[in-house]
């Protein structure tokens, strides 16, 4: 993987990435650690994987805290940030990466509970720890970001709607964050090859990934997209607080 941030660019800073035991979250937290940040690896039920990643990151010379938390549960979220405060005192960067809704056997309202309610819950709990010049990054997809104006695959609609609802709820918090000197960025990407969501969509709709790749010309892989997420933690906040990664020519803006 190519390091998207300069070595030492985040030395002395602390970053938490939700859902960072695997996939985009794991690569994002690795990039942040490689840039010198102390990091919090958050997981829901992949403790061994999270601990393995933490051991690798500690070899970079940074401090690593591993915290399991159910982001849909207030007490669990509060306990996570209590650990963060006890260990590091504050939190400079919060990456809201964890999402879901296509898993089998979950409650009907699970997508909304995780992709909207939990995102707000996590940010509200983190806000007292964020200093002036802190940064919040929310990770989403073009299929969700543009869901109001551009249809997506039927299998993904509930997730897309819930993630857009989460984005909207978080955007309502931008003025309060700005008053504290905290920047907020939405990072939206196309389908990402190699993610669980892409795999599930391909299973439900064979050929979906190849079709989208042909239409877009290129799809980012996990490490490429994670690099863009990591850069959003340090780059100047873009216009409309939105960073679009990959082709958007087939999506209609609002």
76 pLDDT band (50/70/90 cuts)?
A: very high
| Predicted confidence (pLDDT) at residue 134 exceeds the cutoff of 80 | yes
Q: What is the pTM of this model?
A: 0.92
155 pLDDT band (50/70/90 cuts)?
A: confident
| Predicted confidence (pLDDT) at residue 137 exceeds the cutoff of 80 | yes
| Predicted confidence (pLDDT) at residue 149 exceeds the cutoff of 90 | yes
215-237 pLDDT tens trace = 766 777 889 999 999 999 999 99
| Predicted confidence (pLDDT) at residue 211 exceeds the cutoff of 70 | no
Q: What is the mean pLDDT of the chain?
A: 91
Q: What is the C-alpha separation between 150 and 170, in angstroms, rounded?
A: 21
pLDDT of residue 253: 81
174-206 pLDDT tens trace = 999 999 999 999 999 987 766 666 666 666 667
């Amino acid at each position: 993987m190519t390091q998207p941030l300069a070595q030492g660019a985040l030395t002395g800073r602390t970053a938490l990435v939700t859902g960072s035991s695997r996939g985009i979250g794991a690569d994002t937290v690795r990039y942040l650690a490689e840039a010198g940040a102390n990091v919090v690896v958050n997981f829901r039920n992949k403790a061994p994987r999270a601990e393995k990643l933490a051991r690798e990151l500690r070899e970079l010379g940074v401090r690593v805290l591993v915290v399991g938390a159910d982001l849909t549960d207030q007490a669990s979220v509060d306990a996570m940030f209590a650990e963060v405060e006890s260990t590091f005192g504050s939190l400079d960067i919060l990456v809201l990466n964890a999402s879901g809704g296509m898993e089998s056997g979950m409650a009907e309202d699970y997508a909304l509970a995780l992709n909207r309610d939990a995102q707000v819950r996590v940010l509200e709990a983190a806000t007292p720890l964020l200093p002036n010049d802190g940064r919040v990054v929310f990770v989403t997809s073009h299929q969700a970001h543009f869901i109001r104006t551009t249809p997506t695959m039927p299998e993904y609609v509930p997730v897309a709607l819930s993630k857009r609802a989460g984005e909207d709820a978080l955007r309502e918090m931008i003025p309060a964050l700005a008053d504290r000197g905290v920047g907020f960025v939405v990072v939206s990407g196309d389908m990402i090859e190699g993610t669980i969501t892409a795999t599930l969509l391909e299973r439900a709709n064979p050929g979906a990934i190849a079709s989208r790749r042909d239409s877009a010309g290129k799809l980012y892989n996990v490490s490429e997209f994670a690099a863009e997420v990591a850069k959003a933690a340090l780059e100047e906040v873009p216009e409309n607080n939105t960073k679009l990664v990959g082709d958007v020519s087939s999506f209609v803006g609002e």
